[in-house]
Structure 1
Amino acid sequence: MRIAGLSIGKYESEWDKLFKPLKESFKKFEDKIFLLVTDGDANILKGLKGVRILFQRCLWHLPYQMKYYLWKDKVKRKGKQWYHMLGEIFDITAIRHGVGDEKEIKAIIEAKTRRLDKLIEYCEEHAYQHCKSYLENGEGDMFTAFRKKLKGKTTSKVERVMRTVNLRINVGKWNPKGALNAVKVRLAHY
C-alpha cells in the first residue's frame, strides 16, 4: 500500500488541484494498475483524469457510514432493524485473507452480492430510501480488490492515524504543519 497524497487543514478546493503536484508520481503507475481505495467520494476521479485506476470502496467505511443513513431513514438506534442492517453489512464487507482460488473468490463474491441484493430489497420494503441508495452506490466497487487479488480493501489504518491527529490538533493544539509532518512519518510505515 502506498499513500498517494495527504493534506491537513481546511480544504476548499477541487480534487484536481489537490492531485496536481502528485501527477508526476502517478505516471510511475502507467504500466501498472493503480488501486484507489476511497470512502465513496466519486468526485476524486475528476482529479485523476488520465490515470489508469481500479476503484475500491473502503470496506471499513461502508458499515461505519451506514449508521448515518440509518439515522437519516429514522431507524430506531439499537432496535431490531438497526441491528439487522448493521449485522448484514458487516458480514457482507468481511473478506477473508488468503483466499487465492479463482472459483472460491467468484463464489464468495456471488454469495455476498446476493446477500447485498437482499439487504437492498429489505431497505425498499421498509422504505429506507437513504440506506437503499447508499448500498446501491457502493455495490459496483465493493469487491474490486478481492476480485483482482489485490491488497487494499480499507483505509482504516490511515483513518486511525488521522483520528488521533485530529484529536491532537483540536485538543493538544498542534498546528497543521506540524501535524502533517508527524503524519508523513507515521504513514511512511504503511
Structure 2
Amino acid sequence: MYITRKLLGMEPMKRIPAETYRKLGLVGSLTTYRVAKKIVAMFGWTVDKMTIWKSVQKTASEIEFKVDDKELPMGEADGTGVGIKGIAKRGKELKVFVQYRRGGGVRVAGLDIGNYNGTWDKLFRKSIEVFKRFSQFLLITDGDTSILDSVKDKVNILIQRCLWHIPYQARHVLWQDGVKRKGKEWLHVISELMEICAIRPLVDCQKTIEKMIESKRKRLEEVIKYCLSKGYTHTVSYLENAKPDMFTAIEKRLNGKTTSKVERVMRTVNMRVNVSKWSVTGALNVTKIRLAYYYNGFDV
C-alpha cells in the first residue's frame, strides 16, 4: 500500500492523488458539476459532485494570473455580471484583464470579482512590479473609470476608450435623456458618433493622423454642443468623460481601439457561469481554471 501511494504521488491521509484532483478540477470548470460527474462515471469511477467541487477549489488555488514582461505592453479590461447567491438581479461583476501576446491572441493577466464600478485593486496588484518594466502600457477599456484607481500613481498606463462602446453606450444615455429611439435627434447623434469612432487602420503618415484626429475632435465638439442645446445632460456628461481618451492609441501610433478580444473571453466565461447562481469564491475559481485552460496553456 505504501509503495502504491508513493508511485501515485499521494500524500499521507489523502484519498485522491493531486494529479487526479487537477483532472477533476479541469472537468468541473469546463462543464457543470452534474455533467462532470456523468463523464467520470463513464470511465468506471464513482465520484460525487462535492468531490468535483472541492477539486475545482483546490486546482484554482494553484493558478495565478499576472502580466508577463515578455509579451506586448498592451491589454484590455472589461467586466461581466455573474449571478451570486443572496444578491438579487445583477449580482457581482467578474473583472477580467487580458494582455496581448507577441505571436497573436491574448493571455489572461488578471481576474477578480467585486461590485459594479468598484475597485480593480486585487486584479492589478500582483502585476505592478511587471508594469514598471514597461516604458508605457496601453489599456483599452469600455469606460469604467475606477479601473486605474489602484495603479495610476505607480505606473505609466495609457487609456484608450473602446470606440465600439461609445455609440453603443450613447443609446443608453440618450434613453436617460428621454430621446425617442430612431427619432430624428437620436439618429443624428448616433450616426455622428459612429462616424467619429470609425478609425481607418494602417494610417502611417503622422500629419494625416494629426489632421484626422483634429477633424474628429471638432466633430465631437459639435455633437456635444448639439446635445447641450437640446438639454441632453446625461449624453453631454458621457461624451465629455469619454473625450480625453478616445484617440490615445492612434496618437501614440499604437494598435488598439476596441475591447473585442476581451469580449470574446467574456463569451467563454458566460458559457459556464450563466448556468446558475454562485458563491463569490465558487464563481471565481471555476472561471480561473476555465480561462487558464483556454488562454494561458494550463492543462493536466
- Give, as a single letter, the amino acid of the residue that structure 2 aligns with 1:179: T
Say if 1:72 and 1:164 are closer, same or farther in 2 by CA, change over 3 A.
farther
- Give, as a single letter, the amino acid of the residue that structure 2 aligns with 1:183: L
Which moves more between the two structures, 44-53 or 132-141?
Answer: 44-53
Q: Which has the larger radius of gyration?
A: 2
Return the TM-score normalized by structure 2: 0.57
- 8 Å CA contact 2:128, 2:154 repeated in 1: no
For 1:90, the equivalent position in structure 2 comes to 194
- Give, as a single letter, the amino acid of the residue that structure 2 aligns with 1:71: W
Q: Which residue, 145, 154, 160 being the options, matches 1:56?
A: 160
1:188 Cα deviation (Å)?
5.0
Return the TM-score normalized by structure 1: 0.86
CA distance in 1, matches of 2:260, 2:190: 18
Structure 2: state its 5+ residue gaps: 1-73, 76-97, 100-108
Q: Which has the higher helix share?
A: 1
Structure 1: state its 5+ residue gaps: none
For 1:40, the equivalent position in structure 2 comes to 143
Which moves more between the two structures, 56-65 or 104-113?
Answer: 56-65
- Give, as a single letter, the amino acid of the residue that structure 1 aligns with 2:197: T
- Give, as a single letter, the amino acid of the residue that structure 2 aligns with 1:22: S
- 8 Å CA contact 1:18, 1:47 repeated in 2: no
Q: Which residue, 16, 19, 29 being the options, matches 2:124?
A: 19
For 2:215, the equivalent position in structure 1 comes to 111
The CA RMSD over aligned residues, in Å, is 2.3
1:33 Cα deviation (Å)?
1.4
Alignment of 1:1-190 (within 5 A): 1-2=74-75, 3-4=98-99, 5-7=109-111, 10-12=113-115, 14-29=119-134, 32-48=135-151, 49-171=153-275, 176=283, 177-187=285-295
Identity of aligned residues (%): 49
Aligned length: 186
1:173 Cα deviation (Å)?
8.1
- Give, as a single letter, the amino acid of the residue that structure 2 aligns with 1:41: D
1:42 Cα deviation (Å)?
2.1
1:166 Cα deviation (Å)?
2.0
1:122 Cα deviation (Å)?
0.9
Q: Which has the higher strand share?
A: 2
CA distance in 2, matches of 1:16, 1:148: 27
